[in-house]
Chain A
Amino acid sequence: MNNRWTTRRTPGAMSSQTTTATPRRLEIGRIGESVRREDAVPKTEGRFSYASDLWAAGMLWGHTVRSPHAHARIVEIDISQALAMPGVHAALTHADVPGQKRYGLEFPDQPVLAIDRVRYFGEAVALVAAEHPEQARRAAERIQVEYEPLELVVDPERATEQEPLHPDRPTMGHGYRDDPRPNVVRHLVIRHGDPDTPGDVAVEGVYEVGIQDQAFLGPESGLAVPDGEGGVDIYVATQWLHVDRHQVAPCLGLEPEQVRLHLAGVGGAFGGREDLSMQIHGAMLALHTARPVKLVYGREESFVGHVHRHPARIWAEHRATRDGRLVSVRMRILLDGGAYASSSTAVTSNAASFACGPYDVPNALIESTCVYTNNPPCGAMRGFGAVQTCFAAEAQMDKLAAALAIDPVELRLLNALAPGDTLPTGQVVRGSLPVAEVVKRAAELPIPEPEELPRDPIRLPGGAGNTTHGQGVKRGVGFAVGFKNICYSEGFDDFCAARVVLRASSAEIHCAAAEVGQGVNGVILQVARTELGLDDVTLAPAGTALVDSSGSSSASRLTYMASGAVQLACRAALDERDRTGAAEVDVERVYHHPRTWPLDPETGQTTGERSHVALAVAAMRVVAEVDVELGLTRVVWIGTAQDIGKAINPQAVHGQIEGGTAQGLGLALMEEIQTRDGLITNASFTDYLIPTTLDMPPVTAVLVEDPEPDAPYGVKGVGEPPTVVSTAAVVSALRDATGRPLTRVPVRPDDIVDLTA
């Protein structure tokens, strides 16, 4: 049995390069142990093959021609000059798409290649394939596209009054509230109790969240290899192989079996690989040229090659009694979905579902609207709607604490949700939700003493820039709590398949789960070893050919779902062997989580027992220093307690919490895709900043293991809660240091210094 890293560089029989890797045996690991990653050794050696490392004999390089306009009519496309260039084997347009011309994760509203108009900056218009990547780039420049610019829809507030970007309203008629305004992707209203109930105290605020990019380090890449019989194998970095195939095959005019997706090494995902990137394009070029074709995006192209976190504008009003009990929450959320729907309808409802935070709120009116614009398309990113509303809701809780002169932690404890309470969607919390416990555990973590001046400038705001000796530096302590759903919601028929080939003293597992760095392969092996009582268990490479879908590496769902599927299949294999006495048994099982129901389109109330499978909560305490004269910040320390159900691999859980925290800190302090008239102006790591070693403070994390009753081993997902809470917690600390409202993230130096005053 090949281990996955030995097969990556040699897809099929096409490759002539091989690695010298010898499969290494793992140290033995059952669930609950901090097992070392199977892929860590080849990754540290540079031998692990990512999608961008793939190679095949006779391979061509593809390149994508992209729109320089955010909204324009296409008058004409001329490929003749490009085709005549040396080394160029293909130049393709929408006319060459063999099957359906449009695709989409949930709604097929996005053209494979732009047909008569482009709706965002960077939209794919044409493709080329050539012998050398530089030839392909130059040929792409020679494809002549005549555009006629159209009126821009770039202000989400005005979008509902402008000409529709999608007159056929692709997201309507799917059980959502029918909103006839132009450019509405989804409009959801959650009405709970009597939202007009007065309180003794009310606080109000308007909050804004910029566009965040997943900024995974491994750019979009893949290799498409024609099989010589009309079909194609696609080796790609993705989050969900089977849903890719579901979108790719119809556009190629092929049967699903003729399109085989194989997981290539994935250099991070964070939601940005849920939607297709090069899959159809690479396959079109490969089938057209009858040669393997590889596409690798550069960093600039990657910024337009995937969807982003929705930017948001949020108005909120919280009412409470004098002794600090929440009476009513009202919130209006406006999300900019960009040019195509992607997963925006689900983000719209997630933002609304978690808008009140993990608090017992008796009355609420939440209105969440997502619109189409000509801005960069938005979709899934770690936290999925809950990040935006957590930032607003937790700012409101701090504001309420100040208005009531109650300690912010005390206020949160007073209102903490608990099992038996009702969510604003009418769902009664039946599973685990230890809100008070995580709040207490995070609040009792000791914070570091203030450090004396003078000190090394590396430990001051501005850091290595040596901007201050500390004269204008103030310290603040912040706190926040966030929660979100684990697994897909609202009645989605979600499942995960696993197959076990069991022999006398060894087993082989098949599961299509996408290992994107989060560690799901380790989870699968730990579960299989535990269930089978065997050490010699291997995991086959993930693909669509040999096992059914696993569902996506999304929604913090795979630890739950893959554990369930592998546990089920292992137990079935053992039963089968007991029953038949066969030397080898081969069984596949499909695991379903407890059923969920849609939200009522008019009231936003759950139409069954529940709309979310499970919930997970995290609390975070942050110490920050701010140079209030220069507007520079330094986060000094982060302490967090997170509800994780059960840790399958504690070291990996800590890794997820630390990494998820860093992404939330990035949104709080520096990360924003900037646009002008829909055009991205900072598509590089020079201009779009992500946290470095100098930005991340030490993180102390407490794991709270309160088992989820319906889940295998009591697990919950762990990837998203730290990202949901950390943006809010970091800004809370900055507010404490500066006394300024800081209602927008990322917080800019101008906001801290308040140059508008």
Chain B
Amino acid sequence: MRIELVVNGVRREADVWPGESLLFALRERLGLPGSKNACEQGECGSCSVLLDGSLVCACLVLAAQADGHSVVSVEGFGEDGALHKVQEAFVEAGAVQCGFCTPGLVVATAALLEQRPDPTDDEIREALSGNLCRCTGYQKIFDAVRLAAAR
């Protein structure tokens, strides 16, 4: 089936199989592999995207459900070759190791700061509790969120 959606500000069309997830469509149909496929059942947050501004796991949304809607993936952050402040903070704070969780965390952090520009440590922990990271032990991710908030 044919779907039409706005991805990172650009109108896109894709021919998808009805059972396909938005994650598969982004990665394999639309050439946007930034959203990651770590569990594909909504547990790890590696595929976090904004759907009409709301934070969702792209693996739990059917591509067909995104028809007529707007999606922002990690590739939609940052402008003119400059990093988004959240991306910049992740780089600076040393919050990236293997980096497989990073795209999802960038999107989730940006969504958090949109709602709570100056989150407490408890709010940061709760907001990011759906994003698994296996490398960092989260300490430098917290540093990055606080750094991005301070800017």
Task: Check B122–A456 contact: CB distance below 8 A.
Answer: yes
Bound Cα distance from A607 to B125, whole angstroms:
52
Q: Pick the contact of B132: A17, A44, A217, A698 (CB < 8 A).
A: A217
Task: Check B96–A37 contact: CB distance below 8 A.
Answer: yes
Residues of B within 8 A of A456 (CB): 122
Q: Pick the contact of B106: A44, A296, A692 (CB < 8 A).
A: A44
The reply on B34 being an interface residue by CB < 8 A is yes
The reply on B44 being an interface residue by CB < 8 A is yes
Q: Pick the contact of A659: B43, B77, B136, B142 (CB < 8 A).
A: B136
Q: Pick the contact of B100: A34, A214, A217, A659 (CB < 8 A).
A: A217
Bound Cα distance from A464 to B128, whole angstroms:
12
Q: A40-B99, A46-B75, A698-B139 are in contact. Are A692 and B129 (CB under 8 A)?
A: yes
The reply on A483 being an interface residue by CB < 8 A is no
The smallest beta-carbon distance between B147 and chain A, in angstroms, is 13
Q: A43-B102, A218-B36, A516-B98 are in contact. Are A685 and B125 (CB under 8 A)?
A: no
Q: Pick the contact of A517: B44, B90, B99, B129 (CB < 8 A).
A: B99
Q: Pick the contact of A218: B38, B87, B131, B141 (CB < 8 A).
A: B38
Bound Cα distance from A44 to B84, whole angstroms:
9
Residue of B nearest to A20 (CB): B81
Task: Check A268–B74 contact: CB distance below 8 A.
Answer: no
Q: A299-B41, A517-B99, A685-B39 are in contact. Are A659 and B129 (CB under 8 A)?
A: no
Interface range for B = 35 or more
Task: Check A216–B36 contact: CB distance below 8 A.
Answer: no
Task: Check A662–B41 contact: CB distance below 8 A.
Answer: no
Task: Check B134–A44 contact: CB distance below 8 A.
Answer: no
The reply on A696 being an interface residue by CB < 8 A is yes
Q: A46-B103, A268-B134, A693-B131 are in contact. Are A217 and B98 (CB under 8 A)?
A: yes
Task: Check A134–B19 contact: CB distance below 8 A.
Answer: yes
Task: Check B134–A45 contact: CB distance below 8 A.
Answer: no
Task: Check A655–B97 contact: CB distance below 8 A.
Answer: yes
Interface residues of A in 283-318 (CB under 8 A from B): 296, 298-299
The smallest beta-carbon distance between A277 and chain B, in angstroms, is 16
Bound Cα distance from A270 to B100, whole angstroms:
14
The reply on A748 being an interface residue by CB < 8 A is no
The reply on A519 being an interface residue by CB < 8 A is yes
Would you call the interface of chain B mostly helix, strand, loop, or mixed? loop
Q: Pick the contact of A39: B81, B94, B99, B101 (CB < 8 A).
A: B99
Instruction: Map CB proximity to A onto B121-143 as digits: 1 under 8 Å, 0 otherwise.
Output: 01011101111111111111110
Q: A299-B39, A686-B43 are in contact. Are A36 and B34 (CB under 8 A)?
A: no
Bound Cα distance from A145 to B39, whole angstroms:
28
Residues of B within 8 A of A48 (CB): 99
Task: Check B96–A43 contact: CB distance below 8 A.
Answer: yes
Interface 9-mer from A49-57, A162-170, A238-246: A49-57
Instruction: Map CB proximity to A onto B16-51 as digits: 1 under 8 Å, 0 otherwise.
Output: 010100000001000111111111110110100000
Residues of A within 8 A of B37 (CB): 52, 219, 296
Task: Check A699–B137 contact: CB distance below 8 A.
Answer: yes
The reply on B61 being an interface residue by CB < 8 A is no
Task: Check B91–A36 contact: CB distance below 8 A.
Answer: yes
Q: Pick the contact of A696: B31, B34, B137 (CB < 8 A).
A: B137
The reply on A684 being an interface residue by CB < 8 A is yes
Residues of B within 8 A of A132 (CB): 17
The reply on B10 being an interface residue by CB < 8 A is no
The reply on A325 being an interface residue by CB < 8 A is no
Bound Cα distance from A382 to B37, whole angstroms:
24
Q: Pick the contact of B73: A40, A46, A218, A654 (CB < 8 A).
A: A46
Q: Pick the contact of B83: A44, A458, A517, A659 (CB < 8 A).
A: A44
Q: A34-B94, A692-B132, A693-B129 are in contact. Are A45 and B38 (CB under 8 A)?
A: no
The smallest beta-carbon distance between A266 and chain B, in angstroms, is 6
Task: Check B135–A659 contact: CB distance below 8 A.
Answer: yes
The smallest beta-carbon distance between A620 and chain B, in angstroms, is 13
Task: Check A270–B96 contact: CB distance below 8 A.
Answer: no
The smallest beta-carbon distance between B53 and chain A, in angstroms, is 19
Bound Cα distance from A299 to B40, whole angstroms:
8
Bound Cα distance from A282 to B96, whole angstroms:
30
The reply on B114 being an interface residue by CB < 8 A is no
Of the candidates B38, B39, B97, the one having the most CB atoms from chain A within 10 angstroms of its own CB is B97
Q: Pick the contact of A464: B32, B103, B126 (CB < 8 A).
A: B126
Residues of A within 8 A of B131 (CB): 693
Q: A684-B43, A685-B44, A693-B125 are in contact. Are A40 and B96 (CB under 8 A)?
A: yes
Task: Check A298–B40 contact: CB distance below 8 A.
Answer: yes
The smallest beta-carbon distance between B97 and chain A, in angstroms, is 4
Q: A519-B97, A694-B125 are in contact. Are A44 and B102 (CB under 8 A)?
A: yes
Bound Cα distance from A692 to B75, whole angstroms:
25
Bound Cα distance from A683 to B129, whole angstroms:
20
The smallest beta-carbon distance between A535 and chain B, in angstroms, is 19
Of the candidates B43, B106, B142, the one having the most CB atoms from chain A within 10 angstroms of its own CB is B43
Bound Cα distance from A217 to B37, whole angstroms:
8
Bound Cα distance from A597 to B116, whole angstroms:
59
The reply on B68 being an interface residue by CB < 8 A is no
The reply on A658 being an interface residue by CB < 8 A is yes
Bound Cα distance from A673 to B20, whole angstroms:
30
Residue of A nearest to B38 (CB): A217
Instruction: Map CB proximity to B onto A260-278 as digits: 1 under 8 Å, 0 otherwise.
Output: 0000001111100000000
Task: Check B87–A45 contact: CB distance below 8 A.
Answer: yes
The smallest beta-carbon distance between A33 and chain B, in angstroms, is 12
Residue of A nearest to B34 (CB): A46
Interface residues of A in 439-497 (CB under 8 A from B): 456, 458-459, 464
Q: A45-B83, A134-B19 are in contact. Are A267 and B90 (CB under 8 A)?
A: no
The smallest beta-carbon distance between A117 and chain B, in angstroms, is 31
Residues of B within 8 A of A214 (CB): 134
Task: Check B41–A517 contact: CB distance below 8 A.
Answer: no
Bound Cα distance from A62 to B41, whole angstroms:
21
Interface residues of A in 675-698 (CB under 8 A from B): 684-686, 690-694, 696, 698
Residue of B nearest to A132 (CB): B17
The reply on B92 being an interface residue by CB < 8 A is yes
Residues of A within 8 A of B81 (CB): 22
Q: A46-B74, A266-B98 are in contact. Are A40 and B90 (CB under 8 A)?
A: yes
The reply on A41 being an interface residue by CB < 8 A is yes
Task: Check A49–B33 contact: CB distance below 8 A.
Answer: yes
Task: Check A44–B91 contact: CB distance below 8 A.
Answer: yes
The reply on A544 being an interface residue by CB < 8 A is no
Q: A268-B98, A299-B38 are in contact. Are A45 and B78 (CB under 8 A)?
A: yes
Residues of B within 8 A of A692 (CB): 129-130, 132
Residues of B within 8 A of A268 (CB): 97-98, 100, 134-135
Task: Check A685–B43 contact: CB distance below 8 A.
Answer: yes
Task: Check B75–A45 contact: CB distance below 8 A.
Answer: yes
The reply on A118 being an interface residue by CB < 8 A is no
Residues of A within 8 A of B78 (CB): 45
Instruction: Map CB proximity to B onto A680-724 as digits: 1 under 8 Å, 0 otherwise.
Output: 000011100011111010110000000000000000000000000
Residues of B within 8 A of A159 (CB): none
Q: A44-B83, A694-B129 are in contact. List 14 more A-B contacts (CB 8 A).
A: A43-B103, A44-B74, A45-B83, A46-B74, A217-B38, A651-B94, A655-B94, A655-B136, A655-B137, A659-B136, A661-B137, A685-B41, A685-B44, A693-B128
Interchain Cβ contacts under 8 Å between A and B, 29 examples: A40-B96, A40-B99, A41-B91, A43-B96, A44-B74, A44-B87, A44-B90, A44-B91, A44-B99, A45-B74, A46-B74, A46-B106, A47-B75, A52-B37, A218-B38, A218-B100, A269-B98, A298-B40, A299-B38, A516-B98, A659-B134, A659-B137, A661-B137, A684-B41, A686-B41, A693-B125, A693-B129, A693-B131, A693-B141
8 closest cross-chain pairs (CB), A and B: A46-B34, A517-B98, A43-B99, A267-B100, A658-B137, A662-B137, A46-B74, A685-B43
